[in-house]
Structure 1
């Protein structure tokens, strides 16, 4: 019996898979990416801190790239060097001029606006309106050394027309009552203010200033609650500098008040 002879096995063409070579390739690729990222980050930091030099380097890179593209028609080395040097000088001069112009045109920081007190005093309050009276009271606080003075009167002010901080650091809340001679501040108005000045506005010193006077019940309520009452006489003395500021006063006592002076509400 004849057995046919097998021919030689054909070897597969191509390279065998090498795990070490593949791992080495990817490792080198990762290192290269890390180095490239570090270089890019350094370049960005330099560009942020030294924009002029970054512009010069970028211009030099662009010129080098253009010179490489024209290798077939490259002029002599001396001519190319002169052209590159001239371009770099122009670019540097332009960048420096732009930087100097930016520095010279930078505006200095704006000074904080300081509110100046008005020249009018409370002595001429007859010519005021309610808003002017509140502003004039705030101006007196400024004049006598208060800080953070603001006029907050209006709808929803909850009784606080002027807020400030006294020279010794206490929170001051003032309600202004612009009344005529025959209209006095009553206890109902005083109670409304007393219900908000300490609990809502957290006043250390609560003051009611009026161009008129206070009824006896209003003065008694203010005395019990520790609210300072500044009537027309005290207001004129404070405005003219002959009397103390409200934060230096205590609540007005009711001694000597006319017992017939009652609220008519």
Structure 2
């Protein structure tokens, strides 16, 4: 039998050392994974619970939004069923309900656009024009007539136009330039159902 050279012996010894080191490393890795398994399981469970809570919160928020839309839709229907005088009385009532004093309907011939006048809880004078329309939107001419009297004639500190419909873009642009608050049917329904602000809260 041929004798192994020292180089061959060294190579065999190195191979054995590598195999032993690799085996020990594998054992250590398996041990660390096993030891960390409870932590990993807890992390996964916590992440799953967080996802479930977020999903439930999103579902609850969606249901609440649907409920609010239904309530607002019903409320708008009530105002559409009123005549002009009843609508003005209803707006005056909303003002009183939410803390205004001296809130009353002043609409009629010669009212110069002031259908409801009230004093806000913070003392400011509120002048509101009411437009109970169906599908017709409030136009810029209506806003210009109101804008010409609400501040100079009625001394409004808060001027607002409330309607059961909507506003044209020119009307909205004019109101923005004059500082007049616009309440379309959606803002009115939000105010009436206490899911949105009153005009003097904007």
TM value normalised by structure 2:
0.62
1:243 partnered with 2:200? no
Shift of 1:247: 0.8
CA distance in 1, matches of 2:85, 2:78: 14
CA distance in 2, matches of 1:248, 1:216: 23
Match of 1:144 among 82, 85, 98: 98
Q: Match for residue 128 of structure 2?
A: 174
Structure with the bigger RCO (C-alpha within 8 Å, sep 6+) is 2
Q: Match for residue 125 of structure 1?
A: 79
**Secondary structure of 2:182's aligned partner:** strand
1:231 partnered with 2:184? yes
Q: Match for residue 134 of structure 1?
A: 88
Structure 1 stretches of 4+ moved >2 Å: none
Asked if 2 retains the 8 angstrom alpha-carbon contact of 1:172 and 1:205, the reply is: yes
Q: How many residues align?
A: 128
Which ranges of structure 1 fall in alignment gaps of 5 or more residues?
1-120, 250-265
Which structure has greater helix proportion? 2
Asked if 2 retains the 8 angstrom alpha-carbon contact of 1:123 and 1:236, the reply is: no
TM value normalised by structure 1:
0.47
CA distance in 2, matches of 1:173, 1:122: 22
RMSD between aligned alpha carbons?
1.0
Shift of 1:127: 1.6
Asked if 2 retains the 8 angstrom alpha-carbon contact of 1:207 and 1:229, the reply is: yes
